[in-house]
């Protein structure tokens, strides 16, 4: 994993992810709102992840109850539910990072070459995804 993306515990169930090390001086970053003095960071709460899991579980359970035989127990239905963490992480990425593209110039293809944006976004996403897996593991220990 790239050690550029830093996460730290800031509370019992709260984590902060800092993109500080992505703020190396470069042509793209010189126009960014965030930099070394004011690094871009987001806060993640275990409840955010867990409520997303519960929502997915609820939606899948509703579908299964319509398709499965009525004799199938609740526990058996729960065992059939599959939660894709990538979907949850992707939603967090979209809401907390991607939607900040005005502030994060290197993720805004209207202002920077789209090939550079795609590469930068992919690098950030891979690192973010790996950090989110670790945060999720920490949250599972707490819950």
Domains of the chain: which residue ranges? 6-142
Which pLDDT belongs to residue 25?
52
Which pLDDT belongs to residue 124?
81
Q: Which distant-in-sequence residues (6+ apart) come within 8 Å of 107 by Cβ?
A: 97, 98, 100, 101, 117, 120, 121, 124
Which pLDDT belongs to residue 65?
87
Question: Of 10, 12, 18, 11, nearest to 128 (Cα)?
Answer: 18
Model-wide pTM > 0.85: no
As a three-state string, the secondary structure of 90-109 is HHHHHHHCHHHCCCCHHHCC
Which pLDDT belongs to residue 125?
86
Question: Of 117, 123, 127, nearest to 27 (Cα)?
Answer: 117
Which pLDDT belongs to residue 27?
58
pLDDT along the chain (143 residues), means of 10: 78 88 59 64 92 91 88 87 91 82 58 68 86 94 83
Which pLDDT belongs to residue 1?
45
């Amino acid at each position: 994993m790239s050690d550029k993306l830093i996460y730290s515990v800031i509370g019992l169930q709260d984590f902060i992810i800092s993109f500080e090390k992505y703020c190396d001086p470069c042509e793209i970053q010189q126009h960014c709102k965030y930099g070394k003095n004011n690094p871009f960071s987001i806060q993640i709460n275990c409840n955010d992840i867990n409520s997303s899991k519960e929502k997915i579980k609820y939606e899948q359970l509703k579908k299964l109850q319509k398709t499965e035989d009525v004799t199938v127990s609740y526990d058996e239905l729960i065992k059939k539910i599959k939660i894709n963490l990538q979907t949850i992480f992707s939603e967090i990425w979209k809401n907390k990072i991607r939607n900040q593209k005005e502030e994060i110039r290197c993720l805004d293809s209207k202002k920077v070459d789209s090939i550079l944006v795609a590469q930068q976004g992919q690098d950030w996403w891979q690192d973010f995804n790996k950090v989110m897996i670790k945060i999720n593991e920490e949250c599972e220990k707490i819950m």
